[in-house]
Copies of this chain bind each other. A is one copy, B any other.
Amino acid sequence: MTPAADSIRLYELVLENGCSASPYVWRIRYALAHKGLRYESVPLGFTEISAAFGGRFKTVPVIEHGERMMAESWDIAEYLDSAFPGRPALFAGAAEHSMVRLTEAWFAPEILRKMFGLYALDVHNAARPEDRPYFRRSREERLKGTTLEEFTSGRAARLPALRDALAPLRAHLARYAFLGGDAPNFADYIALGAFLWVASVSTMPMLARDDSLRGWIDRGFDLYGGLGRDPRMHSMFE
């Protein structure tokens, strides 16, 4: 039994196949596992988020702990460290925290954005049928009217650029087991969360069969009793 921990709820985004549909939710799933905290999962479709929180939050993850509710993965991660100081820290100190944010400042525009450019239509098609019109409308609005089909057309030709952009991870992981070093840290959870998001929807394997990232991906998906292992997911590898 984990005192207080039982009262944690994690509001997630769910696809038709039951997988979690957000790289940001995945970070918090890993963060909760890292801290050894149990929680109740509350799956929501894309169209249910706004109503579930009376308009207070527009994105998940949202975490509920006793009377506290909050969104935004970084706020949640920091809250978990402050609310559960006796459990393994997500951030050993201010410098690690800042360095992980710097990693994300590179990862979000260079990797995550490229992933969206390849898999946006796959996300749409994997969403619950009742969520698809909303997903299409909201994303195509952001794309200034470009359809998801146009946006992702010829995507295979853009795979090499995404694979190339992952070079810093390969260089680092030639030396370390995890981005965090010998043990995984929040930088691993950010990157693994993005890979798991792709694996949940992908109809085109993202990585070459012999990509040296495979060892780290396997280690990462195996963490915490195989948190990232789900037979409903697609392989990351050709």
Contact = CB atoms under 8 A, between A and B. Distances in A.
Interface string A95-111: 11111111101100110
Contact of A102 (B101, B179, B182): B179
A181 B95 contact: yes
A85 interface: no
A109 B181 contact: no
Nearest to A102: B172
Contacts of A43: none
- Number of this chain's copies in the assembly equals 2
Interface residues of A, number: 31
A179 B103 contact: no
Contacts of A94: 181-183
A93 interface: yes
A68 interface: no
A167 B109 contact: yes
A83 B101 CA distance: 30
Contact of A101 (B110, B175, B185): B175
B105 A168 contact: yes
A101 B172 CA distance: 7
A99 B183 CA distance: 12
Contacts of A106: 106, 168
Nearest to A176: B98
A126 interface: no
A171 interface: yes
Contact of A99 (B96, B105, B168): B96
A176 B101 contact: yes
A45 interface: no
A58 to B, nearest CB: 22
Q: Which residue of A92, A102, A168, A172 has the most chain B CB atoms within 10 A of its CB atom?
A: A102
Query: Which of A97, A99, A106, A187 has the most chain B CB within a 10 Å cutoff?
Result: A99
Closest 5 CB pairs of A and B: A98-B181, A99-B99, A106-B168, A105-B168, A105-B171
5 contacts: A92-B93, A98-B185, A99-B187, A102-B187, A105-B168
